[in-house]
């Protein structure tokens, strides 16, 4: 394999060999600088800052560009679990929701806990075949957190459409490195603190338009607060008479500092480009997989993924941490995640330490 150097230049200079983007990304230098400046500003201008809405709107627009939709179809929030609860609330009582076995709990649990929803599971590889008449929603992650498997997006999308089911895609482990188009799905949620390199508390909900319904297919904004009104001054007190005409009607009051950082992190992702990051990440992951096999280890199959999980190596995590190598253990698997700030040297160092 051609040797690969980190992307992003001077934006990253970690003191660790950081291979844990599936848990949380590194903040670019520009993002950290912006956050420090915002905290200094808050000492004189308060926690709403001098421009509460500007950073969120800039982040909204950047996320929309990454997913190929207009900014007016993106809402901002704080967690995928809240977004999943919102989606659950759009379904009538008795609705069947299909999810993959073992998908991430922030996606699945709010659906399972919602009164009246009938949750059904299927293996990820069989998800498309498991869609049936009466399935109201298929909710699934584009990339599995546990083992990095990439869903057959086209097959699930086609099966859902054939049976009249809506789709809810969690791209938390995909946005930022895997090319995606939000218009292919009804709902798309992303926790942006991993591969999109944003501070925690940055979450997006995109409304696709797979059937050309436009805003007529949007649900009621039943959790709307003051930021969701068409006129902020008129929506501060009492019932909101006029929701925003865009997806801002689904906004949560956002954590200002998270979005002050997010606008800068997303700008970096745009500058480098998802296609370039995808090629970089998957090449490093493939190099690491091949190295594991050469050393007698058997990583779980996850073709085309930037995440590599391997059984039988979980006990190495503490030893790796002592050497300054950051990975994670999930479900008894040693999980390494390769992102734009990683290099071939990072993968080789991990392999050498694993022996």
Choose the final residue of a domain: 245, 270, 295. Answer: 270
- For the segment 130-176, what is each residue's pLDDT rounded down to a tens digit? 999 999 999 999 999 999 999 999 999 999 999 999 999 999 999 99
Q: What is the CATH number of the domain that holds 227?
A: 3.40.640.10
Asked whether residue 89 falls in the same domain as residue 17, the answer is no
Asked whether residue 161 falls in the same domain as residue 102, the answer is yes
| Run of H or E including 14 | none
Choose the final residue of a domain: 270, 305, 336. Answer: 270
- For the segment 32-45, what is each residue's pLDDT rounded down to a tens digit? 999 999 999 999 99
**Could you list the residue range(s) of the whole structural domain that residue 167 is in?**
32-270
Asked whether residue 247 falls in the same domain as residue 327, the answer is no
Q: What is the CATH number of the domain that holds 17?
A: 3.90.1150.10
CA distance 253 to 123: 36
**H helices of the chain, where?**
29-45, 54-67, 80-89, 105-113, 127-130, 153-162, 256-272, 274-294, 317-322, 344-354
Q: What is the pLDDT of residue 1?
A: 67
Q: What is the pLDDT of residue 263?
A: 98
> Is the pLDDT score of 64 beyond 70?
yes
CA distance 295 to 235: 62
135-141 and 96-100: which strand pairing? parallel
> Of the given ranges (19-33, 204-218, 278-292), which has the lowest mean pLDDT?
204-218
Asked whether residue 250 falls in the same domain as residue 215, the answer is yes
> Of the given ranges (26-40, 42-56, 222-236), which has the lowest mean pLDDT?
222-236
Q: What is the pLDDT of residue 206?
A: 97
CA distance 321 to 344: 19
Contacts of 56 (CB under 8 A, 6+ apart): 76, 251, 254, 256, 259
> Is the pLDDT score of 214 beyond 90?
no
> Is the pLDDT score of 21 beyond 80?
yes
Mean pLDDT of the chain: 96
């Amino acid at each position: 394999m051609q040797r690969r150097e980190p992307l992003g230049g001077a934006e990253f200079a970690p003191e660790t060999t950081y291979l844990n983007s599936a848990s949380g990304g590194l903040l670019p230098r520009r993002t950290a600088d912006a956050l420090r400046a915002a905290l200094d500003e808050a000492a004189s201008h308060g926690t709403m800052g001098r421009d509460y809405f500007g950073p969120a709107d800039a982040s909204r627009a950047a996320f929309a560009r990454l997913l190929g939709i207009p900014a007016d179809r993106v809402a901002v929030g704080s967690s995928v679990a809240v977004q999943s609860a919102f989606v659950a609330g759009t379904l009538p009582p008795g609705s069947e929701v299909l999810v993959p076995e073992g998908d991430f709990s922030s996606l699945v649990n709010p659906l399972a806990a919602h009164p009246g929803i009938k949750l059904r599971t299927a293996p990820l590889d069989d998800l498309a075949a498991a869609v049936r008449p009466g399935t109201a929603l298929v909710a699934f992650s584009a990339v599995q957190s546990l083992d990095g498997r990439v869903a057959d997006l086209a097959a699930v999308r086609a099966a859902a459409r054939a049976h009249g089911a809506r789709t809810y895609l969690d791209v938390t482990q995909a946005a930022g490195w895997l090319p995606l188009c939000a218009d292919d799905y009804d709902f798309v949620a992303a926790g942006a603190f991993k591969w999109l390199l944003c501070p925690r508390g940055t979450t997006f909900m995109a409304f696709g338009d797979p059937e050309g319904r436009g805003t007529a297919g949007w649900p009621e904004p039943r959790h709307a607060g003051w930021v969701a009104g068409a006129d902020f001054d008129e929506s501060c007190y009492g019932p909101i008479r006029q929701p925003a005409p865009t997806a801002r009607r689904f906004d949560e009051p956002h954590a200002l500092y998270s979005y002050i950082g997010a606008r800068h992190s997303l700008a970096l992702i745009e500058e480098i480009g998802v296609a370039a990051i995808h090629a970089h990440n998957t090449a490093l992951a493939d190099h690491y997989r091949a190295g594991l096999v050469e050393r007698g280890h058997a990583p779980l199959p996850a073709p085309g993924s930037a995440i590599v999980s391997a059984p039988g190596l979980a006990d190495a995590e503490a030893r790796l941490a002592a050497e300054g190598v950051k990975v994670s253990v999930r479900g008894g698997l040693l999980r390494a995640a390769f992102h734009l700030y990683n290099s071939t040297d990072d993968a080789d160092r991990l392999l050498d330490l694993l022996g």
